[in-house]
Chains A and B, each alone.
Chain A
Amino acid sequence: MKKSMGIFLAAFIFSVNILAGVQARAYGAELVNVSYDPTRELYEQFNVSFRKYWKAKTGEDVTITQSHGGSGKQARSVIEGNAADVVTLALGYDITAIEKAGLIQPGWQRKFPDNSSPYTSTIVFLVRKGNPKGLKDWGDLAKPGVGIITPNPKTSGGARWNYLAAWAWADGAYRHDEKAVRDFVGKLLRNVLVLDTGARGSTNTFVRNGQGDVLLAWENEAYLVLANQPGDFEIVTPGLSILAEPPVAIVDEVVDKRGSRALATEYLRYLYSDEGQRLAGKNYYRPSNPNIAKEFAKVFDLKVKLITIDDPLFGGWEKAQQAHFSDGGIFDQIYARK
């Protein structure tokens, strides 16, 4: 008796679950935004603002569901069927992977302004209070006795930006002499104390465990640390860094099935509105609209020279990835020479 009751109950719960999965989309406007790790605070505030905007515009209530995780991992989950209406990831490379799987139509990067990147970021140095080692620019990082914390470029997207930023600075400093550039980056890498697998891991190593003199970090991550632990750290913006453009895209296959294209388009467009741009700035992303960016001139060093991945020095992600980070690539060559 008890057994059949159990079977019945299990079957009941099961079907309720499945129905819940089906029903979830049946009423009200709904949107799923699959994003990467450090955008949580940004989208939490942005979604509140967008909900108000959409309600005023259409009279409709919209529910927005967020998902955050490592950018590459998140892209993979969308490819496997995590039904995102929009993706807002760390690298164009990851959205291209979704495009290659057939969910996003080619040309997505031209659908929205500024390479579909409503906000940008860059790589800065986070140092301990008072900057005891006097680290001002990339050149100081290769000096003996400096302990650097950065994730591993082999596993972390953020770490690739760190490495390429150092490379770009050295390319200018040594006047395109590749041997000298390699030597410099090699020296810098030998100063790395802990090579974590991801950006959040490195931040915890530096902040929580007190390792190292300098953390190479996303600008927005570094400001987040300052906000969480005021007075313990300082940010140093180097003379030259790299422009990271985290892009956004509509997942065509999903919005076509759900009929949510209009909502998804408006959602991403709203990122470019003055309100959306200000929220990005408040969360330490650099607004792509130069007028709004000026409002944050006190926060960001807007004068820092930023080089993009499409600069002839790197020639885009595919090429940079191949030359520097593939097995036996430049990173392996200079890092192995210990």
Chain B
Amino acid sequence: MHNKNNLWLPRLLIALSFAFVLLMLAAPLSVVLAEAFSSGWELYLKAVTDHYALRAAQLTVIATLSSVLLNVAFGLTAAWAVTRFSFRGKGLLTTLIDIPFAVSPVIAGLVFILLFGRLSPLHSFLDAYNLRIVFAVPGIVLVTIFVTLPFVAREIIPVLEARGTDEEQAAALMGAGFFRIFRRITFPHIRWALLYSLILCAARAMGEFGAVSVVSGHLRGKTNTLPLHVEILYSEYQFTAAFAVSSVLAAAAIAILVARNIVELAARKEKKSNVR
């Protein structure tokens, strides 16, 4: 009895997991692909290389790159501060970093509209300098940064915490400066975690819909990102084009997953050789 149990339970669980993954991920993904190519290659290419689709892709790349770069700076600074120094309000800082995870993206978008929109007290100042934040590219970049803010810090803090400060203290005692310590000791420890978090950050930034939708104003060719473009195509009965553009996003997501696995693998290998 016991033996039998041992055999079928794992099998059942494995089968269930596979069934779940197939149903929830593989099936929708194949529907996307089937719909995207349902009217043939030519229409697919036309939808993907459409002027507005290209502009949307361009904006998505700008927003994603900006948020990745800014998150490197912010994430490293915050993680360093939180794990290497003790100061008042440290608990508060770590909690605040998590806010974008807890807040719905729609609310994040609305907050930026209230802050920089026409009804905001800041508006007359911005207007005097002709600065347009919301309903323009800067707003889209800002909200993307906002929703991805915790990624890098959250990933690096545990790594730095686990590592302790011994090596850095030793280096400091021997007279190494801040940048040298960072480059020679801290960075090698966290580089895989950093890369990993940047990949996740890019995935999130690329797919962000809610917050961007609120601040975009949907100006075609100007403030539409790829996810917004997909929604517009869909509600305009251009189902094939909508799925074609979706498939581009899906392909990018898969590329990111592959990159993530490579990074994980490389990190594991390095750990092993370090132990040896």
Could you tell me which A residues sit within 8 Å of B by CB distance?
1-3, 6-7, 9-10, 13-14, 17-18, 20-22, 24-25, 32, 34, 37, 40, 65-69, 77, 79-83, 200, 224, 228
Contacts and interface: CB of A to CB of B under 8 A. Distances in A.
Contacts, number: 98
Contacts of B28: none
Contact of A67 (B129, B183, B219): B219
Given A17-B137, A67-B220, A80 B236 contact: no
B6 interface: no
13 contacts: A3-B76, A10-B69, A10-B72, A10-B73, A13-B66, A17-B66, A21-B133, A21-B137, A22-B131, A25-B130, A67-B219, A79-B119, A81-B135
Contacts of A67: 217-220
A20 B69 CA distance: 19
A211 to B, nearest CB: 17
B237 interface: yes
B189 interface: no
Q: Which applies to chain A's interface (DSSP): helix, strand, loop or mixed?
A: helix
A21 B136 CA distance: 6
A83 B117 CA distance: 11
B222 A9 contact: no
B65 interface: yes
Interface in B143-187: 179, 182-183, 187
The 7 closest A-B pairs by CB, nearest first: A81-B118, A82-B217, A10-B69, A80-B117, A82-B135, A10-B70, A6-B72
Contact of A37 (B131, B137, B235): B235
Contacts of A22: 129-132
A239 B136 CA distance: 47
B113 interface: yes
Contact of B220 (A7, A25, A65): A65
Contacts of B65: 13
Interface of B: 62, 65-66, 69-70, 72-73, 76-77, 113, 116-119, 123, 129-138, 141, 179, 182-183, 187, 217-222, 232, 235-237
Contacts of B141: 13-14, 17
Given A13-B141, A77-B218, 5 more contacts: A13-B62, A22-B129, A22-B130, A25-B130, A80-B118
A14 B123 CA distance: 19
Nearest to B141: A17
Contact of A81 (B77, B123, B182): B123
Nearest to A18: B138
Contacts of B217: 34, 67, 77, 82
B253 to A, nearest CB: 23
A187 to B, nearest CB: 32
A140 to B, nearest CB: 28
A53 B214 CA distance: 35
Contacts of A224: 237
Given A65-B222, A80-B119, A1 B179 contact: yes
Which of A6, A68, A83 has the most chain B CB atoms inside 10 A of its CB? A6
B232 A68 contact: yes
